[in-house]
Amino acid sequence: MSLEELYRYINWRMNPGDERARERFEGIEEFFESLDWLPINGRVLDLCAGTGIAGAALAKATGAKLLTVLDARRDDLELAREWLEIAGINPELRTVQGDAREVAKLVGEHDVAVLWGHTMPHFDPFDAVRLFANVALVLSANGVFIIEDMDRVYWILYRIGYREFLIEGRKGDYTIASMHEGYDFERGTFKRGYYLLPGFRRISGVDVHYWDIATQLAIGSVFFREYGVMRREEHGLKWVGDVLYFRGPRREVAESIVKLSAQR
């Protein structure tokens, strides 16, 4: 059981054939177009890209000459070209199947890296350090790293409350539910089992870390000279959450961390 099977059932609104996914694409593009400090005509790297919806929107907004989409799931990557066709652009497209935590081994230098779609829960704190270090290594001197996320400590653990059983979504004639199945104290991850209803068939088990924004900014401040956050309330776009940004990678710090990680 894996994320691949889970993702067959949960609709993340990233398939080019989905009308609402196309609306989402337009919202993401509008957000990127509002940022006047993004590198223009550069090289865009979309991490945990899925179908490349965010990378294509960023490439269109900045006139990128290269778009690299990286994901662990090959099936999703094969749809990236469709997003470029929808966007009406034709940058060089590279698809890479691999682990974002080791991106420095997989791709060359880029000017902007984006991690879109509230993906951070898949990374525990140790993973996050490796992720930030690797991204810092592949960015140019004034490169930018952008993350879309939300403050789960505030929203889930405080405003809503942690749910042992939760309906995650419905599609067609089935429902996806998740259940609490444990906690890893060393990794700081909650174990959730995902089940398909009716029938209660287990389709996946996932470890998630509930990130707050401040901790991500703190980790990022080690690897980048500048950092900040644009709250959803500030930009007001329906299809975009809170956005964290980091500029100016500290490559010497990143190199040291990557070497230490390799020795463990």
Shared domain for 92 and 105, answered yes or no, is yes
- Report residue 10: phi and psi, to 5°: -90, 130
Shared domain for 10 and 51, answered yes or no, is yes
Q: 80: alpha, beta or left, given left = phi > 0 and alpha = psi -120 to 50?
A: alpha
Shared domain for 225 and 170, answered yes or no, is no
Range of the domain at 112: 3-151+212-263
CA distances for 27 relative to 12, 76, 194, angstroms: 15, 21, 29
Shared domain for 102 and 218, answered yes or no, is yes
Does the structure show a pLDDT above 60 at 1?
no
Q: What is the mean pLDDT of the chain?
A: 94
2-32 tens-digit pLDDT = 566 666 666 678 999 999 999 999 999 999 9
Task: DSSP letter for 89, please.
Answer: -
74-91 tens-digit pLDDT = 989 999 999 999 999 999
126-156 tens-digit pLDDT = 999 999 999 999 999 999 999 999 999 999 9
Sequence-separated (6 or more) residues with CB below 8 Å from residue 249: 135, 136, 137, 139, 141, 143, 145, 223, 224, 225
CA separation for the pair 172, 170 (Å, rounded) = 7
CA separation for the pair 216, 212 (Å, rounded) = 7
Shared domain for 204 and 216, answered yes or no, is no
The total of structural domains in the chain comes to: 2
Q: What is the pTM of this model?
A: 0.94
